[in-house]
């Protein structure tokens, strides 16, 4: 299992992470980011891609 954290004080809700890891990240009806805090190891590559594309560098994988 991997643990995911988002610094919501940095997040600007651009949603780039949603395209890279749609099973982990989503924008709610108010266009605010929601995410799953733990994920299966099979999502690791998608989460790493989401970390890379985040313009605010607000996503972290906690190990």
Q: What is the pLDDT of residues 1-14, one digit of tens each?
A: 999 999 999 999 99
**What's residue 43's pLDDT?**
97
Domains, in order of start, for the chain: 2-62 (3.30.70.20)
pTM here?
Answer: 0.93
Q: Stretch 11-20: mean pLDDT, rounded?
A: 97
- What's the confidence (pLDDT) of residue 63? 73
Across the range 15-31, mean pLDDT stands at: 97
**Mind listing the pLDDT tens digit for each residue in 37-63?**
999 999 999 999 999 999 999 999 997
CA 9 to chain CA centroid, Å, is 14
Q: How many CA atoms lie within 13 A of 43 on its CB side?
A: 22
């Amino acid at each position: 299992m991997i643990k995911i954290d988002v610094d919501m004080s940095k997040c600007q809700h651009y949603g780039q992470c949603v395209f890279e890891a749609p099973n982990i990240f989503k924008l709610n009806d108010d266009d605010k980011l929601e995410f799953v805090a733990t994920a299966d190891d099979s999502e690791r590559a998608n989460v790493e891609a989401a970390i890379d594309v985040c313009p605010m560098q607000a996503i972290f994988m906690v190990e």
